[in-house]
Amino acid sequence: MEEINKTAKIQFFFRPFSADPKVQVVISVAFLVMYLTSLSGNAIIAVIVQINHSLHTPMYFFLANLAVLEISYIPSIAPLALANLLSMGKTPVSITGCGTQMFFFVFLGGVDCVLLAVMAYDQFIAICYPLRYTLIMSWPLCVELMVGSLVLGFLLSLPLTILIFHLPFCNNNKIYHFHCDMPAVMRLACADTHVHQTALYIISFIVLSIPLSVISISYVFIVVAILQIRSAEGHHLAFPTCSSHILVVLLQYGCTSFIYLSPSSSYSPEMDWVVSVVYTFITPILNPLIYSMRNKELKDALRRALSEF
């Protein structure tokens, strides 16, 4: 009981990336620029899809939901990260606050991974079964897939967060990270974490491998179908959308796999920090850029919206 009371009173601090305040300010400015760019870019996509009836199709429905996810995802990390960068790691976060941040980070990240698999399946149906597309990808199914992604993300995040914060935390309260990431927080526990690390590894492997398998299988069939298209115009229409989605998948799954599936013996706080920046700040910026730059319908809708102002 005394151990639980001690843990409940603990406040965590994030170690500064550099001991030089000027470097910290430069990093915080870079984070702020990426934060605002991601919010504005994803907000534009969500609004453009909403106001253009021509984009009210399953593909853009999932794309708009991905944008909304990214809008929710970065605010769970960026404000606290910016505060700690500017205060040289002196901004405290309670154990409840850390657990809340971890829950939403894992929840939204898990939904993101599942949604990318759903989008790959949508592309597979659109390219391999174009005549049956509207019949298969009905609006009720689209809503069910989206709700299912949210439920899976919740069922992934809640048990893992509870599992980790049932660990006792003693005097070591310096998190070598810019947010409450699971591996970084688990390393502060003053107890044997072997079971927790194994559970995290197994769940991460399942959550990453199943959607990635769906994506890989979908794109094998998609590539075969595209290669069977004889017209150059057909190739030109199909390849940009698919290649943009593959690039997003590689960034998301590559970085996440590095963080959660790397053996603990090869753990490097500095490398973990850098890779986390890629998938928490850079990937949400690239999503709207990649999808809008490679998508003619979305670019046309954006031009029409801008011409009205």
Complete DSSP assignment for 55-98: G-SHHHHHHHHHHHHHHHHGGGTHHHHHHHHHTTT---EEHHHH
At residue 147, the pLDDT reads 96
Tokens of 29: 């400015």
Quick one: which of 116, 107, 126 has its CA closest to 66?
116
Q: Residue 89: which region, alpha, beta or left (left: phi > 0; alpha: psi -120 to 50)?
A: left
> Residues 98, 167: contact at Cβ < 8 Å?
no
Q: Per-domain residue ranges for the chain?
A: 11-308
pLDDT for residue 250 is more than 90:
no
> Residues 218, 124: contact at Cβ < 8 Å?
yes
Quick one: which of 118, 87, 57 has its CA closest to 249?
118
Tens digit of each residue's pLDDT (9 = 90 or more) over 150-189: 999 999 899 889 989 888 887 778 888 888 888 888 888 8
At residue 36, the pLDDT reads 92
Tens digit of each residue's pLDDT (9 = 90 or more) over 2-52: 444 455 568 888 888 878 888 888 988 999 999 999 899 899 888 888 888
Mean pLDDT value of segment 265-288: 80
At residue 259, the pLDDT reads 82
At residue 238, the pLDDT reads 57
CA distance 134 to 126: 9
Query: Coil, strand, or helix at residue 190?
Result: coil
Stronger pLDDT, 297 or 215, i.e. the higher one:
215
Domain 11-308 has CATH 1.20.1070.10: yes
Stronger pLDDT, 273 or 102, i.e. the higher one:
102
Tokens of 185: 């927080």
DSSP state of 151: H
Stronger pLDDT, 202 or 243, i.e. the higher one:
202
At residue 234, the pLDDT reads 53
Tens digit of each residue's pLDDT (9 = 90 or more) over 56-72: 899 899 989 999 998 98
Mean pLDDT value of segment 105-111: 91
At residue 150, the pLDDT reads 95
Question: Could you tell me what percent of the chain has a pLDDT over 90?
Answer: 21
Q: Is 77 exposed, middle or buried (0-12, 13-18, 19+ CB in 10 A)?
A: buried
At residue 5, the pLDDT reads 43
* Most confidently modeled range among 60-74, 229-243, 289-303: 60-74
| Neighbour order of strands in the sheet with 11-14 | 93-94, 11-14, 174-175
Place of tokens 């971890």: 102
At residue 54, the pLDDT reads 84
Please name the amino acid found at residue 251: L
Q: Which residues contact 256 (CB under 8 A, 6 or more apart)?
A: 109, 113, 204, 208, 279
